[in-house]
Amino acid sequence: MLSRTIAVIAFGLLLSGCVTAEQQRAADEEKCRSYGFTRKNDAFAECLQRLELDRRAAARENRYVDPFPQVIYRPVYVPVKAK
């Protein structure tokens, strides 16, 4: 029962991080408007483009970061004394 509850909570947290393209576009437009840009001009379009490019660059950077670095241990010889 506990494992099922944990699985449901983990799945809910996973889905809460998802954003549709429309929601992302609306958030980007709101951010550009908060910077002072108005719709229907080149500066607004450039602001949207820069936000998208920054998002893609961050995704590329995160792709190459390994949270679990590979560790290779060499065998260690431990001599055993005979009795």
Tens-digit pLDDT profile for residues 33-52: 999 999 989 999 999 999 99
pLDDT at 71: 78
Low-confidence ranges of the chain (pLDDT < 50): none
Residue ranges per structural domain of the chain: 20-61
Q: What are the residues whose beta carbons fall under 8 Å from the beta carbon of 25, sequence distance 6 or more? A: 48
Q: What are the residues whose beta carbons fall under 8 Å from the beta carbon of 39, sequence distance 6 or more? A: 29, 33
pLDDT at 62: 85
